[in-house]
Structure 1
Amino acid sequence: MLAALQQALVKAANCRIRLPVILQGDEKSLLTQAQHLLMALQPAHSWWLGEHTPAQCQNIGQYKAHQLLGIECDCLIINAFSGFDADKIAASAGALTAGGLWLLLAPESLQWQQLANSAHHRLRSYPTPTDYPGYFIAFWLGQLQQANVLRGNATTLFNDLTWPEAEANSTTLDVTMPYKTSEQATAVSAILNVVSGHRRRPLLLLADRGCGKSAALGIAAAHLALSGKKHILITAPAKAQAAVALAHFAQLTEHEASTSLALRFVAVDELLASQPEAELLLIDEAAAIPTPLLQQLLDHYSRIVFASTEHGYEGTGRGFQLRFQPYLTKRCPNWRLLRLTQPIRYQAQDPLEQLIRLGFLLKQTDETAVTLTAESLELKHYHASDWLTEPKKLQQVFGLLSFAHYQTQVKDLAALLDNPALSVYTLEQDKQLLACALISQEGEIDDALSQAIYQGQRRIQGHLLAQNLAFHLASPALATVKLARIMRIAVQPHLQRQQLGSQLLTRLEKPLQQQGYHYVGSSFAASADLVRFWQKAGFAAIRLGMQLDKASAEPSLVMLKALSAENVSKVQQLKLKFASRLYQELPDYPSNIASDLLLQLIQPTQHAMTPLTLTNLQLFSADQRPFELVITELLQWFNQYAVILSKLQQQVFIAKLWQKQSWAVVCQRFSLTGKACAIKLMQQAIIQHIDSA
């Protein structure tokens, strides 16, 4: 077998593919065979995932999945006897170069399906037993039946690979350093044109993983720095996702000290808050940044490049295009789209890439758009075990969740199959998926544990809603009842704004009631539009997070709805208590929370205007009474008439009177020239609307 594998690896290198091999049997024999393989092959950069790491290999178990992106190895061995971490396996596969070996060591299929997957234990909700096997391995083995891989045991290979044709023309011919493909050189040229060409003509750079998109950003930045540009910014959902671009920039400018600081990484939230000067803004993995934040960046920066992975581990597929491109066209009709399709590390028909996409449902499907008719819609409920007989439906559900949510990852697929507390409700018509909701079963925590959570002594996995109620809202009794948390809700993009999301929320209430749930809730990055959607469905806001989410730059909001009449009053109490506390404690929250969101959440006490109050306001508006002597009157008036003011007027009043921010901060946030300008705006609001009072 060693000789056969060596021959296959030579052929793989000639075809510019990676070789996927799966060996099943007993652990001791397979580990011994892996050791022989390593000694025979002598790979330069070997990775190992799992226990019993040989001396020749680097164990990657301690790395997070995103830390494995953008780096390379030529041998990757996975010891699945000590766990099968779907997230890390999907991410690490992209690091393997052409001619490399991807080797999976695993138990026999029947035994493997019956074993608990220790690598996925953190995905399960308390109190799932440690010996719970889950369904991910069974699902993955089912997908594997369609894969083009070498299979065998410790001594024998059972089949040969269906070898792809060698590429007719190398993508690297006639390409000079630092480029790896002609497409990458074209991409760099297009990025440079964003700087030298007309303003407001952004570039959208899309690619599958491994096509050199991020490297192109770094190469282009180096060209600009060497030509004298000094203010180039790059951002991404996390700095690790800009590491490839930064590394290429550093490599090309290492001998030019004056250019080494021309490219600077700035986190998205800081970028929006401080809006630093930029001759060019580069955004890597833009699909993983919420559309509202991309819109704000597009509005402020006139020269900008959006780069994103379309498919694969890092990608969110067509969802990014469907959400963001319409706004891009509206604001910048002359924007340009460029796609990179030439893989750098391996060829297009690489069997390992096909295995990863198939096994982890990363392959986007271009299905015919569903047409909504007058036929009745069907509500269906899927549990983890159902996905084994409904793999196509799971593909549809996972694809839709990826479209709708910017942080959907492979571990979310694993959780669907391995966490018994998760289930999915779908709205379907003629077996076609229209909308879906991902539900987590929570609560039913015993009194002692709920008290420990309330006292800050314990935290348990998978009970976000219950822990919010017990700890943050000082209501441990609510953690002892059965709770449903809606983790995600999604509607087919072409069917949005047809009330399907609202229908789904309404329809799933009855089965939840029948299953004994007392409350249903959700937690999400809050925006005014989302809050309106949930409020329309009868949910009440009960807690706002004190920190902004790094990915969305928005605070998290918890909303709750009672599923029985006797619990409605309790939710109303929580709602009123939250609105009152938020009003009083708002200065302690992040200063840049959107004003339209605060107007939806805060319900300040209103008092009738007295003649003296109105007189003082009129004097203020006539510039005959200073702001400092009418703060109370202004607050009383604004609390009653905020909804009829313009957006800018609302923003200034909230920042000054509710958030108690300094004049300098208020003016900086809303681009006002100074305190006098801000006061003038308040005075105009009084003049315009004093008759209402």
Structure 2
Amino acid sequence: MLRDVASALREEAQSVNERRLLVLAGDRSDAYDDVATVLDATDLDPAETTLVAHEDTDAAPLTVERVTPRGAGALLGRTRDAVVYDAREECRPNALGRVAGAVDGGGLLVLLTPPLDEWPDRRDRFDEGMAVPPFDVDDVTGRFRDRLVETLHVHRGVAIVDRDASGDGEYAVVDDGLTDPAPRFARPEPESPDEHAFPDAAYDACRTPDQVDAVRAFEALRDQGHALVVEADRGRGKSSAAGIAAACLAAEGQDVLVTAPQYRSAAEVFARAREVLDALDALVGSPGENPRELRADAGGRLRFADPPEAADLPDDPDTVLVDEAAALPVRLLDAFLDAPRAAFTTTVHGYEGAGRGFDVRFRDHLAESDFEVRDVTLDDPIRYAAGDPVEVWAFRALLLDARPPVDPLVDAADPDSVTFTRLTPDALRADEHLLRETFGLLVYAHYRTEPNDLARVLDAPNLSLSALRHEGHVVSVAMLAREGGLDAETRAGMYEGERVKGNMIPDVLTSQLRDESAADPVGFRVVRIATHHAARSRGLGSRLLADCRETVGERGADWFGVGYGATPDLLDFWSRNGFSTVHLSTTRNDTSGEYSAVMLDPLTSEGRRLHGHHAGWFADRVGGVLADALDDLDPDVARAALAACDAEPDPDLSPWQWRVVADAAYGPGLYSVDPEPFRRLAVAALVRDDAPDLSARRERLFVLSLLQHRSWDDVADKLDYHSTGRAMRDLGDALAPLVDAFGDETAREERARFASGDAEGES
């Protein structure tokens, strides 16, 4: 029976160049024998088959490639005849999306599951990862798998075989998965355009007419001042087209810098570029010599750099190619607009990143740039036919195509027109439209939202969602994580170096800042906050935070907090909404290149104690950190972080130190004699509310010279002073009002002495 089902499924898939999904459900121990039967019955080549299962799983009698669920990213950009995902021990949504995309037309995706009616109630390794302290795995729910099972039952092209139908070894075919598809017209063969500048080999490498059009569009990058945006769903060949074109540009002598969230995202670019350079007999060096760099005999090259490094445009590349651009923050994308030429490829739907930041904010910046911009969209799948049932199922099951409400439904929203709603997991599971709007807004507004987050939204006990709704539609949404409230044993383990999941702020305060009591108070951290692009800049985010603050207080929270990649605008936003800086990370995020800020908004006496301790300590230590680990921090980020710190640091200078500072402000004193009192005074000036007002330029001057100890040449250059001497004199002038505001009797005497001398000289 199993052989017949598998054989018919494979035959139908091959007849129309589509994929099919075969679910083998049950607890019997011989699951891999059944998989071997499927491979044998369908003539699927074990060498072109991948098993996704944990390393400790005995997969006999299969002799196929193996990867773990966490390692399923290795399948990105690859094509397999069959992929078998053993989801019995761990159903990881990200892995499910990755394996579905790897199966070629005519192939099978085989999913091993527990009995489907029992699966939602079982707990697996992914569930254990959601059981963050103080919760345990029994607190995790099964709504995601309940919905997943529903999609398996209702979608076409999904065969379900119950392996536990009876005790006599017989199987029950719940659904044979056959769709009886209508005959398909043959896909048009790609042809070289009538006129083209790239070599024929480039167009010979294309697999669809769409791809030909995309490669032809890349020819514009032979000239400076051009930019290209290539959009497509997964499996349409956008990265391949980019690789083909990049090889041609390198063969003409261009230096092409490639970047992506991870190298694996761009691996297909380099694979196709190598093939084309080989076909052109232009490749220099042996295969595999350096997978992240290819050289051409004309002197051109392709080279990969991680996004923060690439944003500095190292070695002045001729062209920058950004693969999976929507998965990068807008700040980094903006940096690539300084290149002579640029291309951006991005996935329309998919976990690689479909952030609305690219579609809305960066698109505006690109349109305002000096580039002549061209857009290309690839619609035709390369690996399988359009309308493929497995793709349709994966999009629905993982909400890869979820979208926020269309603009006209929410473009009149304002703080007075919206209602605040706690979006419970039960409500989201019961209302598919509400779930799609909510998750779609998270996907479009944040470049890191992924299928794993869908399971967390539905099942994780520490997460909760709240939203503002305009006429029933979600216009703003916040994802909150409960943190802290940990017992003494857990706190001690965290203090001694153990990693405690799902408690980001308590972990930072405890393990890095050495406060063992910090994980005792209960707090809620804002993990994501997103407002529909059609209703931004109207105060909706602030309204949502205010409502969330009230509800978490009612739920017993001591503090409200947030951690994020710090930019001046974001620091200002969170500060305006009552959050205060308590920490800046000392390492940059690998993808965004930003330092992270941690901010707290205390709600109870315990929260105020925690906040007061760490805000005060931040103000005390930040000067030293800026002179060391953060000596390259953007001065505007430093200014905003310090301004957002709710503390009152006292310069606490001795009479001698006040004399040194006052003499530098009013007389011939030198900053270099004793930098320490100047540093303390600069922190007070930037943090305290009662400090004299300083211009933005002078605040930057304090950060660069007094706190980060940059060279005077560097200071003068960055702040556009005509000379280092002018910068030094302005520093003295900027110190004067601080001496007036905070100085002791010694400072006042020194000021009077030199002010008097100036007056006598003038007379």
1:264 aligns with 2:303: yes
Letter in 1 for 2:40: M
Corresponding residue for 2:478?
437
Tell me by how many angstroms 1:606 deviates: 5.7
Q: CA offsets, 1:467-519, max 9 Å, x none?
A: 22322333322312322111111111111111111111111222222221111
- Alignment check: 8 A CA contact 1:286 1:306 kept: yes
1:195 aligns with 2:222: yes
- Paired residue secondary structure (2:538): coil
Q: CA offsets, 1:233-289, max 9 Å, x none?
A: 111111111111112222333452173571111112122346431111111111111
CA distance in 2, matches of 1:160, 1:151: 4
- Provide closer, same or farther for how the CA distance between residues 352 and 62 of structure 1 changes in structure 2, counting only shifts above 3 A: closer
CA distance in 2, matches of 1:671, 1:500: 36
- Alignment check: 8 A CA contact 2:404 2:532 kept: no
CA RMSD, 1 decimal: 3.1
- Paired residue secondary structure (2:351): coil
- Provide closer, same or farther for how the CA distance between residues 323 and 166 of structure 1 changes in structure 2, counting only shifts above 3 A: farther
- Provide closer, same or farther for how the CA distance between residues 119 and 452 of structure 1 changes in structure 2, counting only shifts above 3 A: closer
Letter in 1 for 2:259: T
Corresponding residue for 2:167?
none
CA distance in 2, matches of 1:14, 1:665: 67
Q: CA offsets, 1:324-355, max 9 Å, x none?
A: 11111122463221111111111220111111
Instruction: Specify which of 236, 239, 258 is matched with residue 214 of structure 1.
Output: 239
CA distance in 2, matches of 1:253, 1:607: 66
- Provide closer, same or farther for how the CA distance between residues 689 and 274 of structure 1 changes in structure 2, counting only shifts above 3 A: farther
Tell me by how many angstroms 1:587 deviates: 2.0
Letter in 2 for 1:381: R
1:114 aligns with 2:121: yes
Letter in 2 for 1:561: D
Q: CA offsets, 1:611-640, max 9 Å, x none?
A: 9867745778xxxx9875696797688668
1:343 aligns with 2:381: yes
- Alignment check: 8 A CA contact 2:142 2:459 kept: yes
Corresponding residue for 2:520?
480
| Between 8-17 and 680-689, the greater mean CA deviation after superposition | 680-689
Corresponding residue for 2:710?
661
Instruction: Specify which of 265, 275, 278 is matched with residue 317 of structure 2.
Output: 278
1:380 aligns with 2:380: no
CA distance in 2, matches of 1:164, 1:276: 54
- Provide closer, same or farther for how the CA distance between residues 42 and 569 of structure 1 changes in structure 2, counting only shifts above 3 A: closer
Q: CA offsets, 1:296-351, max 9 Å, x none?
A: 221x2131111111112323165520221111112246322111111111122011
- Provide closer, same or farther for how the CA distance between residues 366 and 523 of structure 1 changes in structure 2, counting only shifts above 3 A: closer
- Alignment check: 8 A CA contact 1:282 1:305 kept: yes
Q: CA offsets, 1:12-57, max 9 Å, x none?
A: 2231211122232343364432221122324241111234424332
Tell me by how many angstroms 1:416 deviates: 1.6
Corresponding residue for 2:48?
45
CA distance in 2, matches of 1:313, 1:167: 30
CA distance in 2, matches of 1:394, 1:475: 39
Corresponding residue for 1:426?
467
Which structure has more RCO (C-alpha within 8 Å, separation ≥ 6)? 1
Figure out how many residues of one structure are paired with residues of the other and give that number.
Answer: 681
- Alignment check: 8 A CA contact 1:242 1:284 kept: yes
1:135 aligns with 2:143: yes
Instruction: Specify which of 518, 521, 530 is matched with residue 561 of structure 2.
Output: 521
- Paired residue secondary structure (2:509): helix
Letter in 1 for 2:708: Q
- Paired residue secondary structure (1:221): helix
CA distance in 2, matches of 1:684, 1:518: 44
Tell me by how many angstroms 1:607 deviates: 8.8
Tell me by how many angstroms 1:64 deviates: 2.7
- Provide closer, same or farther for how the CA distance between residues 317 and 518 of structure 1 changes in structure 2, counting only shifts above 3 A: closer
1:577 aligns with 2:617: yes
1:249 aligns with 2:273: yes
Corresponding residue for 2:597?
557
Letter in 2 for 1:276: D
| Between 71-80 and 596-605, the greater mean CA deviation after superposition | 596-605
Instruction: Provide the TM-score with structure 2 as the length reference.
Output: 0.82
Tell me by how many angstroms 1:585 deviates: 2.2
- Provide closer, same or farther for how the CA distance between residues 567 and 173 of structure 1 changes in structure 2, counting only shifts above 3 A: closer
Identity of aligned residues (%): 26
Corresponding residue for 1:303?
341
Instruction: Specify which of 124, 134, 149 is matched with residue 131 of structure 2.
Output: 124
- Paired residue secondary structure (1:588): coil
CA distance in 1, matches of 2:520, 2:76: 42
CA distance in 2, matches of 1:497, 1:615: 47
Corresponding residue for 2:578?
538
Larger Cα Rg: Structure 1 or Structure 2? 2
- Paired residue secondary structure (2:551): helix
1:182 aligns with 2:209: yes
- Paired residue secondary structure (1:162): coil
Gaps of 5+ in 2: 164-170, 193-202, 286-294, 644-648, 687-691, 741-763
Corresponding residue for 2:79?
72
CA distance in 1, matches of 2:326, 2:119: 36
- Paired residue secondary structure (1:335): strand
Corresponding residue for 2:744?
none
CA distance in 1, matches of 2:697, 2:314: 19
- Provide closer, same or farther for how the CA distance between residues 612 and 469 of structure 1 changes in structure 2, counting only shifts above 3 A: closer
- Alignment check: 8 A CA contact 1:195 1:279 kept: no
Q: CA offsets, 1:428-465, max 9 Å, x none?
A: 23321121111111212112321232233x22111112
Corresponding residue for 2:366?
328
Instruction: Specify which of 76, 91, 94 is matched with residue 84 of structure 1.
Output: 91
CA distance in 2, matches of 1:317, 1:601: 26
- Alignment check: 8 A CA contact 2:403 2:439 kept: no
- Provide closer, same or farther for how the CA distance between residues 83 and 333 of structure 1 changes in structure 2, counting only shifts above 3 A: same
